């Protein structure tokens, strides 16, 4: 069965996302630039801004001179990722496998790749004729446009490489370009060589310029032995991509299970003792949630967001995995010391754990009575620290999360919140 891959590309996704959030920006020159940089540069520009000479990499000061009515906005990566996840869920019914395209079109390893506004759908087997595949692709495009008011361009081909290039050829105003199976080399031949991912590296681009290779057809004329001699191992990839050969499968995004506890401070502060107490509370919340599910985490990350919007992140992996309060508090305190590199007050704290492991369940010899009736109750783990933690968890579960508090928390008015969920 011949493969059929559909690539959905939303041109200038971040700009379109901002216009989706604020429709008044439609038709106006918009640029995205970080606001926490002393000399910000444009990272994305709308078509109207590019017509005025504003391109990615332009200093924001120069961009405002070139385009007097330019609207500069800070990038909101969380919003873009969330919108991409919503689009990914909307596309799920149209194909057995949907993969976020990411920045480079490779396999996705996290949901964050959805923020690129590119998606691969493996339509193999869902239709029988080329016309039926085109109809299915048209339905996908209309679904995105109707649900999110975003205009996608669609590329339909036998592999991911050619479908991605096809969607880029018809961008930004096109709809669908279908490349029949067997015509991949003829389709790529008249295109610039930079459409091939393997030709975009700085070293490869420089060597192609020395060889005066500007078009894909000129790359096809070079023998494989010469490409291997000039480029080494990447030469084989160039040779394959120039002929439209790509056997990479469409893979669903890998979603690593994680557990999160975060807090937005009511009063911004840079007091290290207060921040340490708040991070300790986040660690306790994560520990209570992990122990309730008989789990442990192999990695921890602490994100500190300052009052000026700048965020600092510190992370570390552990072996063996952690679930005890003392270990989690010590690890969180270490991450806090690494993350507090600025004297600006802190607005938000976020502690994440991933690489979750499930521990074995050790049952008692006889069933014991519990609050839920005749259910096997797990024995308390051996060790005084583990026994103390188990006793504290039972007390808080029976009398409330605020039944037992460390003395240092009372000074800052902190309490234990309900256990976090993954």
Question: Which letter does DSSP use for residue 180 in this model?
Answer: -
Q: Indicate if 207 and 92 belong to the same structural domain.
A: yes
Say whether 319 sits in a helix, a strand or coil: strand
User: Which of 227, 255, 283 finishes a domain?
Assistant: 255
Identify the residue with better confidence: 101 or 229: 229
Taking residues 40-69, what's their average pLDDT? 93
Q: Is 156 among the domain residues?
A: yes
Q: pLDDT at residue 221 above 70?
A: yes
The whole-model pTM stands at 0.65
Q: Structural domain of residue 346, as residue ranges?
A: 258-411
pLDDT tens for 358-398 read 765 555 555 444 433 333 334 434 467 667 777 777 776 67
Q: How many residues does the chain have?
A: 422
Taking residues 342-347, what's their average pLDDT? 88
Q: Indicate if 114 and 236 belong to the same structural domain.
A: yes
Per-residue model confidence (pLDDT) at position 373: 39
Residue 261 in tokens: 């506890």
Q: Indicate if 391 and 282 belong to the same structural domain.
A: yes
Q: Indicate if 147 and 267 belong to the same structural domain.
A: no
Q: Is 38 among the domain residues?
A: no
Q: Indicate if 279 and 384 belong to the same structural domain.
A: yes
Domain count, the chain: 2
Q: pLDDT at residue 73 above 60?
A: yes
Residue whose token pair is 């609207």: 71
Tell me the C-alpha distance between 275 and 336, whole Å: 8
Q: Indicate if 228 and 275 belong to the same structural domain.
A: no
User: Which of 255, 290, 310 finishes a domain?
Assistant: 255
Q: pLDDT at residue 257 above 70?
A: no
Q: Indicate if 376 and 394 belong to the same structural domain.
A: yes
Q: Indicate if 243 and 153 belong to the same structural domain.
A: yes
Tell me the C-alpha distance between 179 and 61, whole Å: 43
Tell me the C-alpha distance between 76 and 311, whole Å: 13
Where is 411: in which H helix or E strand?
helix 407-411
Per-residue model confidence (pLDDT) at position 420: 42
Q: Is 386 among the domain residues?
A: yes
pLDDT tens for 117-157 read 899 999 998 888 889 999 999 999 999 999 998 999 999 99
Per-residue model confidence (pLDDT) at position 111: 46
Residue 183 in tokens: 């015509």
Q: Indicate if 246 and 277 belong to the same structural domain.
A: no
- Output the domain CATH number for residue 311: 3.30.1490.100
Q: Indicate if 240 and 369 belong to the same structural domain.
A: no
């Amino acid at each position: 069965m011949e493969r059929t891959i559909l690539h959905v590309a939303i041109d200038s996704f971040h700009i379109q996302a901002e216009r989706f959030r604020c429709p008044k920006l439609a038709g106006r020159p918009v640029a995205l630039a970080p606001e926490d940089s002393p000399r910000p540069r444009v990272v994305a520009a709308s078509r109207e801004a590019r017509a005025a000479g504003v391109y990615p990499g332009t200093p924001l000061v120069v961009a405002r001179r070139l385009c007097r009515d330019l609207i500069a906005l800070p990038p909101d990566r969380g919003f873009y990722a969330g919108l991409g996840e919503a689009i990914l869920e909307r596309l799920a019914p149209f194909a057995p496998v949907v993969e976020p395209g990411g920045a480079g079109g490779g396999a996705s390893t996290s949901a964050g790749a959805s923020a690129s506004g590119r998606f691969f759908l493996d339509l193999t087997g869902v239709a029988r004729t080329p016309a039926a595949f085109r109809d299915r692709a048209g339905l996908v495009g209309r679904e995105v446009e109707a649900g999110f008011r975003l205009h996608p361009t669609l590329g339909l081909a036998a592999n991911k490489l050619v479908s991605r290039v096809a969607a880029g050829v018809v961008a930004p105003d096109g709809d669908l370009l279908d490349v029949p199976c067997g015509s991949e080399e003829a389709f790529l031949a008249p295109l610039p060589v930079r459409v091939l991912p393997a030709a975009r590296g700085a070293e490869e681009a420089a060597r192609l310029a020395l060889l005066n290779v500007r078009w894909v057809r000129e790359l096809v004329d070079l023998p494989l032995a010469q490409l291997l001699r000039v480029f080494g191992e990447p030469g084989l990839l160039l040779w394959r991509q120039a002929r439209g050969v790509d056997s990479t499968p469409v893979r669903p995004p890998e979603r690593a299970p994680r557990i999160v506890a975060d807090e937005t401070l009511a009063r911004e502060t840079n007091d290290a003792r207060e921040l340490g107490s708040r991070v300790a509370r986040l660690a306790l919340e994560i520990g209570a949630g992990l122990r309730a599910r008989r789990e442990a985490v192999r990695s921890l990350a602490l994100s500190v967001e300052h009052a000026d919007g700048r965020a600092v992140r510190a992370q570390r992996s552990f072996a063996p995995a952690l679930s005890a309060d003392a270990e989690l508090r010590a690890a969180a305190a270490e991450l806090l010391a690494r993350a507090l590199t600025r004297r600006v007050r802190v607005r938000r704290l976020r502690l994440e754990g991933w690489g979750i492991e499930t521990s074995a369940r050790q049952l008692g010899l006889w069933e014991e009575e519990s609050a839920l009736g005749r259910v096997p109750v797990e024995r308390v783990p051996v060790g005084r620290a583990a026994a103390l933690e188990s006793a504290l968890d039972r007390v808080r579960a029976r009398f409330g999360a605020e039944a037992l508090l460390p003395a240092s928390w009372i000074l800052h008015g902190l309490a234990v919140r309900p256990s976090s969920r993954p």
